[in-house]
Amino acid sequence: AQTVTQSQPEMSVQEAETVTLSCTYDTSESDYYLFWYKQPPSRQMILVIRQEAYKQQNATENRFSVNFQKAAKSFSLKISDSQLGDAAMYFCAYKGGGADGLTFGKGTHLIIQP
Amino acid sequence: GAVVSQHPSWVICKSGTSVKIECRSLDFQATTMFWYRQFPKQSLMLMATSNEGSKATYEQGVEKDKFLINHASLTLSTLTVTSAHPEDSSFYICSASPIPGLGPYEQYFGPGTRLTVT
């Protein structure tokens, strides 16, 4: 079975600074997808960024970028120029190549200090 | 576009009763919908995969007879918690994968349903 590990229960960063959230995963599949989701207090899951395993180039979405190290099975999220609205729970998630659901990590609570 | 709704958003029921939660894709069709459970301050756990017109596939450890899933149409899946007990109190979230879609990774989440069993 696939597992997703987020080793940072909580992270704190000053507004406008850069923060990196870590995620590692374990799988024997060659075709899979990795995601970072944001869950604010409303609890609505919001997709932050997605990475296809077959793509070598790291995904980027505005201030959000990932460092995807396939051999190391590592998938970290970098948030640049942190904003107060970035404060939330962040979940790393894995999806196999078929019609599978998502396997989530335990999450990282991100605090933005003004 | 790509909106998923859940109804109700919050429900309180008495122990021993059953409660039904609806998950609808409002502007797209979905062959596959997923149901997750989230305990307070914890992560989401996949409960089951719901496929239109066929039986749901449950994850290991999820009681099929307690959590009945019906995917009667391409826009509606329901989760019925039967004979609910206080330990079933949780936040239930559904997601849906659209057809045609961008790929197997595309899915959209509903806003969740908070179930409290007294």
Q: How many CB atoms lie within 10 A of CB B102?
A: 9
Among B36, B42, B44, B62, most A C-beta atoms within 10 A, so best to mutate, is: B44
In this prediction, what percent of chain A has a pLDDT beyond 70? 100
Q: What is the mean pLDDT of chain A?
A: 95
Q: What is the C-alpha to C-alpha distance for residues B118 and B90, in angstroms, rounded to an integer?
A: 12
**Sequence letter at residue A42:** S
In total, chain A counts a number of residues equal to 114
A11 exposure class (CB count in 10 Å sphere: 0-12, 13-18, 19+): middle
Give the pLDDT score at B2.
87
Q: What is the mean pLDDT of residues B88-95?
A: 97
Q: What is the mean pLDDT of residues A82-88?
A: 98
- Under 8 Å between Cβ of A51 and A58: yes
**φ, ψ for residue B56 (rounded to 5)?**
-75, 155
Q: What is the C-alpha to C-alpha distance for residues B10 and B112, in angstroms, rounded to an integer?
A: 9
Give the pLDDT score at B105.
74
- Under 8 Å between Cβ of B23 and B94: yes
Question: What is the Cα gyration radius of chain B?
Answer: 14
Q: What is the mean pLDDT of residues B27-42?
A: 92
Q: What is the mean pLDDT of residues A73-99?
A: 95
Partner-chain contact A35 B105, CB within 8 Å: yes
Among B23, B45, B95, B109, most A C-beta atoms within 10 A, so best to mutate, is: B109
**Of A1, A99, A34, residue with least CA distance to B48:** A99
Give the pLDDT score at B67.
97
**Of B94, B89, B69, residue with least CA distance to B12:** B89
Q: What is the mean pLDDT of residues B58-62?
A: 95
Binning pLDDT at 50, 70 and 90, where does residue A85 land?
very high
Give the pLDDT score at B78.
96
Say whether pLDDT at B100 is over 80.
no
A95, A99, A104 member nearest B43 (Cβ): A104
Q: What is the mean pLDDT of chain B?
A: 93
Q: What is the C-alpha to C-alpha distance for residues B93 and A4, in angstroms, rounded to an integer?
A: 19
User: Which tokens go with B84?
Assistant: 């609910």
Higher pLDDT, B101 or A2: A2
Q: What is the mean pLDDT of residues B10-17?
A: 97
**Of B4, B9, B3, residue with least CA distance to B92:** B9
Give the pLDDT score at B104.
66
In this prediction, what percent of chain B has a pLDDT beyond 90? 79
CA distance A94 to chain B (A): 10
Give the pLDDT score at A49.
96
Question: What is the Cα gyration radius of chain A?
Answer: 14
In angstroms, the first-to-last Cα distance of chain B is 37
Lowest mean pLDDT among A4-8, A48-52, A97-101, B94-98: A97-101
Lowest mean pLDDT among A8-22, A51-65, B91-105: B91-105
